[in-house]
Chains A and B, each alone.
Chain A
Amino acid sequence: MSHDVLVALPLVIPLATAVIAMLFYNSRESQRVISVIGATALFAASIALLIAVREDGVLVSEFGAWAPPFGINMVADLLSAIMVLMTGLIAFTVSIYSLATMDPRRESFGYYPLFHILLMGITGSFMTGDMFNLFVWFEVMLIASFVLIALGGERPQLEGAIKYVALNLISSMILLSAIGLLYGVAGTLNFADLGMKLQDVDEPWLVTTIGMMFLVSFGIKAAIFPMFFWLPASYHTPPIAVTALIAALLSKVGVYALIRAFTLVFTQETSYTHQILLVVAGATMVTGVLGAVAQYEVRKLLSFHIISQIGYMLVGLAILSPLALAGSIFYIVHNMVTKTNLFLISGVSYRLQGTYELKELGSLYRYHPYVSTLFFVSAMALAGMPPFSGFMAKLTLVRGSLEIEHYAIVAVALFTSLLTLFSMTKIWTEGYWTPSKAEENDELPPGVEDFPGWTSNMIAMFVPILILAALSVGMGLLAQPVISLLIETAEQLLDPSVYIEAVLGDES
């Protein structure tokens, strides 16, 4: 397949899926089938894209056949391709899981078209080679996610959605102003062109200032310290499939934008900007996990953990060494897999016992050992215990930091990891080991007698969970190929000339 097709497919497939699902607006059943087919196709296309990028190097497609830096081009380098692949994986698993957990009312009010429009916004953000175009994809993604969070119109949902919308609109406003300023300074918004023109700019402080505006704007979207409070206030309100989808993808888009901007564009005064990033990363880790320790509602607890883990993802960016950056990207990949899985499993325990409150959950281990094993794998992976993916991700990151002698951030990371383990064991003991209230009264807890059995709904819930759990174990046990791919990615990021040459050609 030609490069133009490969690069366009991750955008065209979700768009086509959304359109076809809209054409079948009145038929819920057809929409469900179309959604799964579309998500599977997206997953396949994203695998093909990563293989092609690995073989042929950075792929560039000039949309509209306008040459950069004037036209808008889509670029798939290794980082973009990996992020698109993860989007495809999450889309595939969550679209199957949605079949079992979405209520008919939400389904018939356009859940599936919105789901795929959101995916299009996300893959677009991951691949665009233009700062303003990134803003546009952000908006596509945000508008879809606004509606997904509010869809159903329950009171807490609307409350969460308002916080989410307000904070994200502020972020978009700052982003737009920063883009305006950047254009004023550089006269271009193409990433590659920016990377080239800003390398030897006369007034680096001016560019750094604009860079800090981007940090604030992308930081709000990525939920970094101290701008994370919208995340735990809104993520737990929609149905669990939506929570899993947005938790896996939305904040990672912010992290991706930070990585792209601070490896390619804003590298003038790294001793200053990346020092700030390092401090922010440490503070994000600690505050996130402290928030999680205090929570007793599974979804809120997991939401706080997202924040904490965003911190890990920034460490490698702040240190800017190949190994640490590879560790950060490993962390993003690992986190997308395990965090999504934890949300999906908490959806299962909700299905069994009808609650997300730890104090009311109980006895899951005694009556549902398989569910418990799956939870245990993901929880230990999240806490970074060997042999799961989290351990390898953390190991890479910590080794990368030690090589550059950043001992303080290593200490913070390990301390955070300990608290993560603590809050995971809290879910384990409270939800899985402690006898539930019903059992204390010599009754069977809910979900045992009325266990629905292996209906197609239960299968649709467990297949995605099994896939993600297997990946989490697999990335831990067979870490070598993953790490070598990620180190290749990190080296590509740290040498912007590869990206610039691929986009602008050799004449630069």
Chain B
Amino acid sequence: MKSLILQTATRSLVAVLLLFSIFLLLRGHDEPGGGFIGGLVGAAAFALYAIAFDVPSTRRMLGIRPQMMIAIGLAMAGGAGVISLLAGEPYFGHLWYHTDLPGFGEIHLGTFLLFDIGVFLVVIGVTLLVILTLQEE
């Protein structure tokens, strides 16, 4: 069933949801939020698109197989721990990098961010793997 209203609304909602998911991901650095919740919102954007349009076009929009997304996400999350190991810290003993970025002021980047982006990708990947497979059945 194709609904013009839903399709029109989805076109603009997807962009907002994806932006919001990235906002949540970055916000999780210091405040409530993070990769998991951000990933769920991001997956919701694609799921909505799949409901309004169809699965093949959603897969095209995604541009990457969900399995691959899970693998890359796991590699980033696990790799964040390995970086700490290489630096002589315990696994997941997070490292920080402080810098002054003109226009933003001081920012601190940690291996934690890498871990969170990994979680973000894994959550989107797993959710979409389930939803898209079920919808194709």
Contact = CB atoms under 8 A, between A and B. Distances in A.
Same complex for A and B? Answer: yes
Interface in B51-96: 65, 67-68, 70-72, 74-75, 78, 81-82, 84-85, 88-94
A22 B93 contact: no
Interface string A10-25: 0110011011101101
Contacts of A74: 91
Q: Is the interface of A mostly helix, strand, loop or mixed?
A: helix
Given A63-B91, A65-B94, A5 B85 contact: yes
Contacts of A19: 71, 74-75, 78
A25 B74 contact: no
Nearest to A23: B71
Contacts of B85: 4-5, 8, 12
Interface string A24-62: 010000000000000000000000000000000000011
Interface in A401-452: none
A2 interface: yes
Contacts of A20: 75
A64 interface: yes
Contacts of A8: 81, 85, 90-91
Nearest to A113: B71
B67 A61 contact: no
A15 B78 contact: yes
Interface residues of A, number: 22
B92 A23 contact: no
A25 B67 contact: yes
Contacts of A65: 84, 89-90, 92-94
Given A15-B78, A19-B78, A61 B91 contact: yes
B74 A64 contact: no
Contact of A4 (B71, B74, B75, B91): B91
B74 A15 contact: yes
A17 to B, nearest CB: 11
B112 to A, nearest CB: 10
B67 A22 contact: yes
A12 B85 CA distance: 10
A12 B88 CA distance: 15
B90 A63 contact: yes
Nearest to B88: A2
Contacts of A64: 90-94
Contacts of B78: 12, 15-16, 19
A418 to B, nearest CB: 48
B91 A22 contact: no
B70 A22 contact: yes
Contacts of A7: 91
Contacts of B71: 19, 22-23, 25
Nearest to A71: B90
A74 B92 CA distance: 12
Contacts of A25: 65, 67-68, 71
Nearest to A72: B92
Contacts of A110: 67
Nearest to A64: B92
A289 B49 CA distance: 57
A80 to B, nearest CB: 16
A74 B85 CA distance: 14
Contacts of B68: 22-23, 25
Given A22-B67, A25-B65, A25-B67, A12 B91 contact: yes
A74 B91 CA distance: 10
16 contacts: A4-B85, A5-B85, A8-B81, A12-B78, A12-B81, A16-B78, A19-B74, A22-B70, A22-B74, A23-B72, A23-B75, A61-B90, A64-B90, A64-B91, A65-B89, A65-B93
Given A12-B82, A63-B92, 17 more contacts: A4-B88, A4-B90, A8-B81, A11-B91, A12-B78, A15-B78, A19-B74, A19-B78, A22-B67, A22-B71, A22-B74, A25-B71, A61-B91, A63-B91, A65-B84, A65-B92, A65-B93
7 tightest A-B CB contacts, nearest first: A65-B93, A22-B71, A8-B91, A64-B92, A4-B90, A19-B75, A19-B74
